[in-house]
Chain A
Amino acid sequence: MVSLNNAFKLYVMMALLSLGGAGVWQSMHFPITAPQGFMIQFYQRVLGHLDGRSCSAYPVCSVYARQALVQHGWLWGSWLAMDRLIHEADDLKGLQKRHMIVFEGERRLYDPLSRNDFWLSKE
Chain B
Amino acid sequence: MAVGIVGWGAYIPRYRIKTREIAEAWGDDALRIRDMYLVEEKAVGYIDEDPVTMAVEASRDALTRAGIAPSEVGAVFAGTESKPYAVKPISSILIDALNLKRQVYSVDMEFACKAGSDAIVNLMGLVKSGLIKYGIAVGTDSSQGEPGEHLEYTVGTGAVAYIIGSTNLVAEIKHTYPFASDTPDFWRRDGSPYPVHGEGFTGEPAYFRHIIGAAKGLMEELGMKPNDFDYAIFHQPNARFPVRVAQMLGFPLEKVKPGIVVDLIGNTYNASALLGLAKVLEEAKPGSKILVVTFGSGAGSNAFYIETTDLLPSKVKLARTVSEMLEDKVYIDYSLYLKYRKIIKMIHG
Q: Do A and B assemble together?
A: no
